[in-house]
Structure 1
Amino acid sequence: MPHTPIYNGKRNVSVIGAGFAGMAASALLARQGCEVTVFEKNDTLGGRARTFSGQGFTFDMGPSWYWMPDVYDRFYAQFGHTTADLYDLKQLDPGFAVVFSGNELMDIPADFEQLCALFEQTETGAGDKLREFIADGEFKYRVGMDEMVYKPGHSFIEFMSLKLLAQAMRLQLFSSFSRHARRYFKDPRLLALIEFPVLFLGAMPRDTPALYSLMNYSGLKQGTFYPMGGFGTVADAFRDIARSAGVNFRTSETVERLETHHGKVSHVHTASGSIKTDAIVGSADYRHIEHALLPEADRQYADDYWESRTFAPSCLLFYLGINKKIAKLRHHNLFFDEDFGLHAEEIYKDKKWPTAPLFYVCCPSVTDSSVAPEGQENVFVLMPIATGLPDPEPIREHYYQLLMDRLEKFAGENIRDHVVLKKSYSVSDFKNDYHAYQGNAYGLANTLGQTAIFKPKLKSPKVSNLFFAGQLTVPGPGVPPAIISGTIAAREVLKYLNS
């Protein structure tokens, strides 16, 4: 976006939600001369990237994987910053580790040639196959970043350029990710490693377009990074950029109603009163904004639409402060010691609490001494689950014991007796804190029928000055897509205001 303001007078833009999408949109709009107010129902900024502290520990409550670093770089550059200006970004080595049955541990090295050697050691010929697979993923990533992902998804016409049409077959929008991966690899350990981003953030691998092998390029070739101090430092960077641009944040202020007249939002109503607005960016839960804030006549999606959608998982999380070090834990640890296919079926098809779940353990104190007291460990455990499940304390505790059994077996030492801080978080918490539909944690799954123009529309067809951003619209779940979503929404608001 050009830096020159496009208005002689100020236009008032209201943003609902201060996650990455909302903060990105607000900063870009303020930088263009708009008077921007962000309403955030919680008392802190960052959305799902909130933090909490206790007993010397600081926990990231949401995102922990820092992939696609160029998306952050691109956003910061618009404000004259580099990532290094804002926080210390460290590449992890190993990027992450995978635990298979029998407590077999596979460290994923940061060096790509070492990774190819690891694949070759695991399956004859897989080293060269990985080079081919990642080269294909890099092509998709470059085309996606340059040609596709910053489009608003209004209609097919956006994707009808001759260049994109020529590249369509190589993008594999209509091929299955699962089938694509099996063209390259046979060993179930390598397939689990390749498919895990799809399971944790997307859908069943067989229902996900092979286009999303671009994620493997980012994670395995670009690398896995960590912002020192935790993901809260990234949220702080977005907050500071937005404030420097002139954004006004109003925390602990829930939007109660959007007043519409003649197909436009005229006022935003909160418990504190109302504010006149020229445009709205709704970066909170899409369904909540439509169904709780808009008159019924102004809604574009009925309940049966949302009920028919395929959602990425919710999750059960445990934040644990442990008063000793755990030698075998890496920064990122994926426990694939049970049946991948069964857990995926139970998330997406059966929608039940899992029988033998896969899970993820993050231990940032391996890398960052600031997040835990000296000699202690900051750990959070994440188990993907279906959306909409009841999550009373007895169920949470049952899975805590189950996961800790397996974690202690892997670590070869007692951990439970050393837990000095414990907090759980699950479906009902996502609903309460974020108005998340069915307690979803990541938004809509990246199935073909929910990609690009098939996602909920970024621009309301019924309310001309209402735009959406975040994980339930384009381009999808994850922090980099949220940043991109806020960027697209800001651009579309500016087009509207300048029309």
Structure 2
Amino acid sequence: MRKKIAVIGSGFSGIAAAAYAAQAGNEVHVFEKNSTLGGRARQFTTDNGYTFDMGPSWYWMPDIIENFFTDFNTSAASYYQLVALNPQFEMVFDGEAMAIPERYEDLQLLFESIEPGAALQLDRFMKEAQYKYEVGMRDFVNKPCHSWFEFVSLKIARSALKLDLLTSFRKHVRRFFSEPKLIALMEFPVLFLGAMPEDIPALYSLMNYGGLKLGTWYPLGGFIKIIDAMAAIARQQGVTFHVNATVEKVNVQNNRAVSVTVNSREIPFDAIIASSDYHHTEQQLLEKPYRNYDEAYWEKKTFAPSCLIYYVGVKERVPGLTHHTLFFENDLQLHANEIYKDKKWPTQPLFYVCCPSKTDKMVAPANHENLFLLMPIATGIEDREAIREKYFLQMLQRIEKHTGARDLLQKIDYKKSYCIYDFTHDYNAYKGNAYGLANTLRQTAVLKPAIRNKKIKNLYYTGQLTVPGPGVPPSLISGKIAATAINKLKI
């Protein structure tokens, strides 16, 4: 039976859910509170010629992203051009930098030059990681996670030990490598999962395979090209998008969602997929009796970091920067403790710079540079402009030290900051989080917030606060899982 479905939010998971729901023959409407589609993957252009991606900047797991397009009998290449980055990225340590090459054979040589025998160890590590990737990203993460019984399959049972669910990622990496730089390189991808390596299951070495082995890519024009492509596919299926459309309430009768109130207007629907922040959806859009979780539940959860972001335009080229540069001169453990335990602004932060103008001439005026600076911070801490500016100046000084550039502050012709307040205001993000829930063992699979509302059978959730977790590929998968459930629902 054809259903009329509302999707709240137009990030990766929301657009994916809408496309899959419409593909099944349903009438689908997407409501986005902001003026443009994309959620955290929005883009903006300045009057003086800069174009900034606002959020995601790492294009990893290209095969998983490609799966979305394949499901609609097309390809990513039909919509945007992917460029392989070489080097994939650079890591700056105290006094030196390490460039990560595109070719795996060159990566082996790099490892061997740093630690004798590490090339062979890298092969062993990647062989295990590939297995986890193939089982994890094709079987494990595609479950709706209503029950542990979903994982009682012969294939997953046979894979249980190899998936390393009970071993910490930190311990796993140290089985293979002892040199601190190589350990830092292998551990850094799990920071995308929002927790420290000692709190992440070794299953997530699949991230190393999905990134280091499959390569780091960039869609020319920026990540908005993926959003534009997905939205075009969704429209081809019949999806209608509504921007500047704030969903204010999910209306419930007899334990069924019957409508949503959008900009003070009530619109009837047969089913709802909430790609909006899970906490906000429950605490603000639903009346108390219909919530899966209370405020105390969310307070106990381990959230991935928020971040301080600066979008910066520079009136000259900055030498010595690659497309992605990770500034790891300081103590990772100290910074992590101040994110997850002490909950304060970092004393000696690590940070990241994306310089897409090294790859894409369309994102900055000629002979100018487009810089995206990101520093992970704790959620829920005080956010003031003076604090932001203090760290901006620190990051700028460290970029100058690494690159040899001079007087960058005087050469800036565009600057905009984005932090906890903005994540809360623009995305209703719980405590201003940027990446959702951390993928700790206690917040994996069935232990994540449920993808379905347990009291309203026609309301499902999708996105980074539910299964399978944070990141662009998992968000696409999350949208498909929610849509599949809604498509099967009998009204």
Matched, 1:283 2:280: no
Stretch moving more, 161-170 or 92-101: 161-170
Match of 1:29 in 2: 21
In structure 1, what is the equivalent of residue 428 of structure 2?
435
Q: Name 1:155's counterpart in structure 2.
A: 147
Does 2:162 align with 1:180? no
| Alpha-carbon distance in structure 2 between the residues aligned to 1:433 and 1:149 | 28
Aligned to 1:3: none
Corresponding residue SS for 2:375: strand
- Identical aligned pairs, as a percentage? 54
Could you tell me how far apart the structure 1 residues matched to 2:283 and 2:99 are?
46
* Structure 2 match to 1:12: 4
Which residue pairs with 1:122 in the alignment?
Answer: 114
Distance 2:244 2:59 in 1: 28
Describe the SS at the equivalent of 2:309.
Answer: strand
Which residue of structure 1 aligns with residue 419 of structure 2? 426
Q: Is the 8 A contact 1:12 1:279 kept in 2?
A: yes
What letter is aligned with 2:193? L
Kept in 1: contact 2:133–2:206 (CA 8 A):
yes
Aligned pairs (5 A) from 1:315-464:
315-414=307-406, 415-464=408-457
3-state SS, counterpart of residue 423 of structure 1: strand
What is the one-letter code of the residue matched to 1:76? Answer: F
- Normalising by structure 1, what TM-score? 0.97
CA distance in 2, matches of 1:56, 1:272: 37
Using the TM superposition, give the Cα deviation of residue 200 of structure 1 relative to its aligned residue in structure 2, in angstroms.
3.9
SS at match of 2:72: coil
- Spell out the pairing of 1:233-252 with structure 2 (5 A cutoff): 233-252=225-244
Per-residue deviation at 1:166?
A: 1.5
Name 2:138's counterpart in structure 1. Answer: 146
- Taking the aligned partners of 2:234 and 2:16, their CA distance within structure 1 comes to 7
Secondary structure of residue in 1 paired with 2:139: helix
Q: Give the gaps of 5 or more residues in structure 1.
A: 1-6
* Distance in 1 of aligned mates of 2:235 and 2:266: 22
8 Å contact 2:29–2:239 — kept in the other structure?
yes
Amino acid at match of 1:321: G
Q: List gaps (5 residues or longer) in structure 2.
A: none
Tell me the residue number matched to 1:164.
156
Name the SS of the counterpart of 2:162 in structure 1: helix
Q: Distance in 1 between matches of 2:63 and 2:256?
A: 36
Shift of 1:76: 0.4
Residue type of the alignment partner of 1:95: Q
SS class of match (2:177): coil
Q: Distance in 2 between matches of 1:198 and 1:216?
A: 8
> Matched residues in 1 for 2:113 and 2:258: separation?
63
CA contact (8 A) 1:200 1:384 kept: no
| Cα deviation 1:402-461 (Å, max 9, x = unaligned) | 111111111112221111000000011000000000000000001000011100000111
1:92 aligns with 2:85: yes
Task: Give the structure 2 partner of residue 270 of structure 1.
Answer: 262
- State the Cα deviation string for residues 22-49 of structure 1 (Å, max 9, x = none): 0001011111110101111000000000
**Correspondence 1:480 to 2:481:** no
Shift of 1:202: 2.1
Quote the residue 1:196 is aligned against. Answer: 188
Q: Is the 8 A contact 1:346 1:386 kept in 2?
A: yes
Matched residue type, 2:30: V
Deviation at 1:80, TM superposition (A): 1.4
Say if 2:43 and 2:54, in contact at 8 Å, map to a contact too. yes
Q: Give yes or no for contact 2:148–2:446 (8 Å, CA) kept in 1.
A: yes
Asked whether the equivalents of residues 88 and 227 of structure 1 are also in contact (C-alpha less than 8 Å), the reply is yes
Indicate conservation of the 8 Å contact 1:199/1:344, yes or no: no
d(CA) in 1 for partners of 2:234, 2:68:
12
Letter in 1 for 2:415: K
Aligned length: 489
Q: Does 1:72 align with 2:61?
A: no
Partner of 2:461: 468
| Residues 176 and 210 in structure 1, CA contact (< 8 A), matched pair in contact too | yes
User: How far off its partner does 1:349 sit?
Assistant: 1.2
**Maintained 8 Å contact 2:248/2:264:** no
TM-score by length of 2: 0.99
Task: Note the aligned Cα RMSD (angstroms).
Answer: 0.9
2:52 and 2:262 map into 1 onto residues whose CA distance is 30
User: Contact between 1:316 and 1:384, CA under 8 Å: does it hold in 2?
Assistant: yes
User: How big is each residue's C-alpha offset from its partner over 1:190-211, in whole Å with a ceiling of 9 and x where there is no partner?
Assistant: 1111111222432011010000
Separation in structure 1 between the aligned mates of residue 405 and residue 75 of structure 2, nearest angstrom: 43
Secondary structure of 1:382 counterpart: strand
Deviation (angstroms), 1:272: 4.7
Give distance in 2, aligned partners of 1:32 and 1:155: 25
Please give the alpha-carbon distance, in whole angstroms, between the structure 1 residues aligned to 2:237 and 2:323. Answer: 35
